[in-house]
Amino acid sequence: SRMLPWQRVSSLSGVHLQRRPQVIPATAFGLGCWQVYRKQWKEELIRELERKIHMDPVPIPDDLSDLDGMEYETVRIRGEFLHDQELHLGPRGCLQHGDSQTAGGLFSQREASIGYLVITPFKLEGREDKILVNRGWVPKRYLDPKTRPEGQIGGLVELNAVVRLPEARPQFSPQQRGAIFLYRDVPKMASLCGTEPYFVDATAASTVPGGPVGGQTRVTLRNEHLSYIITWFSLSGFTTWLWFRQIVRGKSF
């Protein structure tokens, strides 16, 4: 019959604890301590992210390479959208207040769970530089720009946007083809549109009637270290008890 995880631990312990009685509990304890450190590090990272998100907007720097050190900071941009070169990123759910909740009230729950981000080249005013702007989210039925003409704002616009860096390609993601991207491949997007390789997320205030829903910046990070801490310290305690029974009290399993 198939052994349960704790039974496998007991079986392994019966062999290995006699040879090296403290290896398993000591290793598990060490890994638990490491997860405590990782939890503190992740919490500090989250606090730093929140601090940057809530900083006052600053003008986009003259030297765009400065954006490499400004991830999650908000910049103010002024210029014109080049809608004829629009790209899409998805599928994605619609974020509300920077988390993974869908935008209830704007669309049906089903519709808000499947959509795409609209990525549009943006020519900065008074300079030749063009960057990529994530205007926001649209449901799948509005993926074609022809279905939302009133949202394709023209002329000079000014908005605030959050600086984002490129994403690494997910391990099992297929090769990119066409104008729909599966992840934030900024260099390839920039090459396709002839822009500089810099990417920003327009804030929620940029949303216009009939246009994409802005504010699609996820401001939460996965923090599962507490469950790992409990797991490793529990394993350390359990194997210590096994060692005590077998070595100190001389009981077999």
Q: Which of 14-18, 39-43, 75-79 has the highest mean pLDDT?
A: 75-79
Spell out the residues 6+ positions from residue 99 whose beta carbon is closer than 8 angstroms to its own.
218, 219, 220
Q: What is the distance between the alpha carbons of residues 234 and 226, in angstroms, rounded to a whole number?
A: 12
Neighbours of 170 (CB within 10 A): 9
Question: 98: phi > 0 → left, psi -120 to 50 → alpha, else beta; which?
Answer: left
pLDDT of 104 reads: 41
Q: Are 130 and 124 in contact (CB under 8 A)?
A: yes
Q: What is the mean pLDDT of residues 196-221?
A: 91
The pLDDT assigned to 103 comes to 44
Is cis: bond before 170, omega within 30 of 0? no
> Looking at 66-70, 171-175, 194-198, which range is the least confident one?
171-175
Domain chopping of the chain, boundaries: 22-56+222-253, 73-206
126-172 pLDDT, tens digit per residue, is 999 999 999 999 999 999 999 999 999 999 999 999 999 999 888 77
Q: What share of the chain is helix, strand, coil (3-state, %, to 5)?
A: 40, 20, 40
Q: Which of 110, 106, 116 is nearest to 138 (CA)?
A: 116
Rg (CA), the chain: 25
Report helix, strand or coil for 159: strand
Q: What is the pLDDT of residue 251?
A: 55
- What is the reported pLDDT for 253? 46
